Amino acid sequence: MSPDLTRLTLAQALDGLARGDFSSREITRAFIDAIEAANPALNAYVLPTPERALAMADASDARRRGGSPRPLEGAPIGVKDLYCTEGVRTTACSRILDGFVPPYESTVTANLWRDGAVMLGKLNMDEFAMGSSNETSCFGPPVNPWHSSGSNRDLTAGGSSGGSASAVAANLCLAATASDTGGSIRQPAAFVGKVGIKPTYGRASRWGMVAFASSLDQAGPITHDVTDAALMLRSMCGHDARDSTSLDLPVPDFAAAIGRGVKGLRVGVPREYRVDGMPAEIDALWERGISWLRAAGAEIVDVSLPHTRYALPTYYIIAPAEASSNLARYDGMRYGLREAGRDLNDTYSRTRAAGFGKEVQRRIIIGAYVLSAGYYDAYYLRAQKVRSRIAEDFRQAWERCDVLLTPSTPSSAFALGDETRAKDPVQMYLNDVFTVTANLAGLPGISVPAALDGQGLPLGLQLIGRALDEETVIAAAAELERAAGFAATPDRWW
């Protein structure tokens, strides 16, 4: 009886492939079978691509036999449906892109294939990455592999990268690409007990990623552990002339930062992240995280980020404003859905009403409103100025500390179909309260699974670092991971 290859981490699988313990075809086949068995219950993949996966695996095995393996040679991964994949349907889980087959490949996925990775398929997400529970997907939500103790009620895998989170947690890929505009990598990773990292804005190219809010969107992976996150990130990042905000800087060997430790590192604890009404166990976990890092030699520093409480309202002006502009391209003329109307304007309006879901329409209208004549200064320009103040808060904090430690989310995973959140969009938005600041300031952030709460659900701790200092973030994350020793896995009910 051979071991279950799907239970390996990315690093373990790469070792096994290098030793010749198994081939890429064998591990790819194992994942294809696992997806076939689990996906009807979990809905993590919106489009499995088994034939392509096996063809890529065979090519990879041939390459390895030729003696020139690449960094991710033969490793099967999942791709968020936000990334354009040449010849493979890409919808961002919106009806308006139903049947869209990109004639080109996103830079991030091209980088992963360049490094030898194998694509298992496209992963579920909130429509255009707008959501915190993955319930806005036109394919229906993915399901969190975790259930509360003694309950069989389905929980959200988080959003917007809920499919990526569900797939990694259920061992339906070695690792997955995700994307983060306000917390969409870190919150789902926290909800399923996995690692999610968003690098500094500009580290990874946005070319070929379906755009949501261009000044905030950033690619990153969801993985089993910090080592895997470092490996995936290294392949995903890199300068790209086709994205004008891509940073022309060398990509560090992120994995080399693991084991660097935190001795002498100044870890800031932002007092404004203590939210009233936050469950006591999240507060207690935060305290445990502080003591873990202190015990490992870090110096704990109390810091203030006074504009934190304005981050979410700022985000909900800037992100919808950019979205309303970005989504103007969906007019039913050149690609995607077209609903015929009386005339051109009517065709536009019917196409967009039929193609966009409720939350996307809400955000387009908010965005159009805050950008409209008479409101631009009061809303949009003011939000951009508050964004400056939030970024300035961080610059001040970096004079006193090297990395910040916070909870990842204000709760563990909540139920799908949660009525309070369905009725009041603001309640859903509040889920990103701890993650959104890093997007506004363009900073790297990681969520590391740290414990189970009283209901038996995973909770994460977040580290935020200086711009371009992913290495410190990864070093501290590896220490948190070591100290937490989080090894829990969900019971296989699916």
Partner 1 sequence: MSSALRARGGWANPALFRGLGNASVSIDAATVRKVAHLARLAIPEERVEALTGELNGILGWIEQLQEVDVTGIEPMASAVATALPMREDVVTDGAMPHKVLANAPRAEDGFFVVPKVVE
Interacting residues with partner 1 between 172 and 231 (CB under 8 A): 201-202, 215-216
Q: Which residue in the set 83, 191, 254, 316 belongs to the binding site for partner 1 (CB under 8 A)?
A: 316
With respect to partner 1, which residue has the nearer C-beta, 58 or 339? 339
Q: Which residue in the set 40, 345, 399, 487 belongs to the binding site for partner 1 (CB under 8 A)?
A: 345
With respect to partner 1, which residue has the nearer C-beta, 47 or 368? 368
Which segment (115-123, 141-149, 254-262, 361-369) binds partner 1 by CB under 8 A?
361-369
Tell me the Cα Rg of the chain: 21
Name the residue among 103, 295, 71, 110 with its Cα closest to residue 204.
110
Does position 361 bind partner 1 by CB under 8 A? yes
Q: Which residue in the set 69, 261, 341, 456 belongs to the binding site for partner 1 (CB under 8 A)?
A: 341
- Interaction pattern, residues 134-173, with partner 1; x per rule: CB under 8 A: ----------------------------------------
- Interaction pattern, residues 367-406, with partner 1; x per rule: CB under 8 A: xxx--x-----xx-xxxxxxxxx-x---------------
Per CB under 8 A, which of residues 13..72 are in contact with partner 1?
Answer: none
Active site residues: 80, 160, 184
Per CB under 8 A, which of residues 82..101 are in contact with partner 1?
Answer: 99-101
Q: Which residue in the set 426, 488, 491, 493 belongs to the binding site for partner 1 (CB under 8 A)?
A: 426
CA distance 106 to 102: 9
With respect to partner 1, which residue has the nearer C-beta, 43 or 187? 187
Which segment (122-130, 153-161, 169-177, 309-317) binds partner 1 by CB under 8 A?
309-317
Which segment (28-36, 124-132, 137-145, 329-337) binds partner 1 by CB under 8 A?
329-337
Per CB under 8 A, which of residues 254..293 are in contact with partner 1?
Answer: 271-272, 274-279
With respect to partner 1, which residue has the nearer C-beta, 229 or 440? 440
> Cβ 114 to partner 1, closest distance in Å?
20
With respect to partner 1, which residue has the nearer C-beta, 231 or 317? 317
CA distance 312 to 326: 20
And the tokens for 97? 């892109």
With respect to partner 1, which residue has the nearer C-beta, 311 or 446? 311
Q: Which residue in the set 296, 350, 490, 494 belongs to the binding site for partner 1 (CB under 8 A)?
A: 350
CA distance 193 to 187: 10
Q: Which residue in the set 20, 40, 103, 485 belongs to the binding site for partner 1 (CB under 8 A)?
A: 103
Size of the site for partner 1 (CB under 8 A): 89
Q: Which residue in the set 167, 421, 447, 458 belongs to the binding site for partner 1 (CB under 8 A)?
A: 421
> Cβ 152 to partner 1, closest distance in Å?
20
- Interaction pattern, residues 229-248, with partner 1; x per rule: CB under 8 A: ------------x--xx-xx
Per CB under 8 A, which of residues 454..473 are in contact with partner 1?
Answer: 467
